[in-house]
Structure 1
């Protein structure tokens, strides 16, 4: 049993939002009680105390759209690759990279990413994977690292026609296979059916996916991230991307549609009618120069919006800050985003995780998963339940996280990883990355 305290507990529980000089008691992977430090210290006298140093105690963050496979591209420069549009970015970097990824590279990418998750207080992620250099078993490689590092993970493999029919079938088979594996450990692993995007998926492939998806896994797909996705759908099928996916039976209440930048009013209505979840990835969208989704229109229409990073970072507060600025920049209204963006990160990401992981995460209350972090933040002004989101927006980032606990196990305490030798792990990651780069640049 662990007693984490004392500190200012930000519960994300509307019935008990903030506890000054509070603590969280955890045992066997679950929260036992949240309350006043002195009371709990006396009540659970035999518990192991983890010192929160009077700082902020919060639920672990949830990333609703990540790309672990991109981790080893950091610092990579491919000669002759000077993309001027999104398709050139995909062809020149990401498709080129994933065609070369072997299981060892997937392992190293997972280690680097999950280390970053722990250091940034992220305890649950939804990952969208591709490693066409070695597809079979690749999701299990990620899952093994996820269990080792204690980050709950909902995984999928990116089905696409871009590498031919045989590789497409391998990708489908990997989703089906891993779905059965994840079902054996539902509190820690989830599975979805990964799809790249409409413009790399034929009608025949989507029909094959539906046929093979006998376990009714939800779908995780990129939607209208660039205009090429829309133009392709209009040219080939006579309808815009969202409508095409609707007709193909892909949308629904267990579907995550990443991005949805180039969607019109009718498509937004369709997303809402089908209860499809949209995940916003602000830094990636800006970095790829693909535009910005109309978050306000989606939000007002009742579409459930989550927040992700698209592999750009593992720091959810970084994504939170950029999303806040971007919605204001796009709308030209500085009074917007104050409600919508924190709802995405703190409420909707929790709900999305609840749909696919058999664990209650993103909240500190009895019975919830013991995924708890401590942030080294000292408020320069009054901090209470009404303004905590503003304090985090302007005063903190992921590297303010000093302690990360997941599943009731301390993964990092006072910025020191527990049970992991970061130096040795990263040395091995760099060794693998060097081998990958040699193959890429040969």
Structure 2
């Protein structure tokens, strides 16, 4: 097909170069949303696009960046080549940088990269290294004073004595990180704007946290002692304790729980409940008026665990959502029959004559095998929740026969429901 001609002069009319005529801000918006390799390739589109990628404020170096059909060149060499081009060609600040490489191994150039970022206004940094190969952060890391969001995986942190924290840090995630408890406490306390804290897959025998702006705290790991002080805004707390010990725990559980005046979402796995379960009264002295979602892992035949769980429910008048994972755990000091009697007595409906869960709308019970304490708990929640919309019951792994399960369902239909709209769904395994 021939190009159109100008009627006045008879000359071919060249169609406009749409890519080159795009506004600069539009080009930047397109390039920043592309993977880095594709962003670099845009340099061949036109002269106007040639160096736009060099101004990218957000960069991601991950495995996909240099995965090719030819793997003769080692990842370390490829990373070194990419880093060299970044160092020599990139202009302007780098606001966000992500390094996520599974098989890089030791690469001294990473230290130079961290130094490069520290001088280019880094605010959001994500470093993900393979397990078993802890990367020791260089001294230049501790001079990233503009840092607002930090995520570290499989790193070793040993700050210099002169380090005073990141005073602009808003979120901190440490996964598989080695750091002394003293340095962790200092890092958190010297981050006055910290709102989100994640500590996972790490060993922290002692954790003391003081963060006046903290809104979300997610912990998963081994713990022997934990203290969260001066956190009046904390709305979400999740504790998954993989290393519970009978010798560990909270000295004053009531004081610990009640210190979170703004708590809306509480997630405690079984080990964390055991960790916290202590001598608690039937009801906390001050109600948890903000708590809306409660997720617990419990054994209904351990009286201290059940008492703690029921104390939380009694003390949370505005609960909207309850999820309970039931476990079959028995106290070897007493017989199975005695365990069941203790659990059954704890959840009798008659013991809750002064309690009504007026805001509870959804209940999910997992691991249910049909024991008497479990059925009594279901009966209790149905009888005390006038606004309940639905209850989902998931059967546990027990070898209950089909006949036994049918009996369970039949018994469920006989329970009185305070809410005429409550729908009970039983899901067998």
Normalising by structure 2, we get a TM-score of 0.28
Where relative contact order (Cα < 8 A, 6+ residues apart) is larger, the structure is: 1
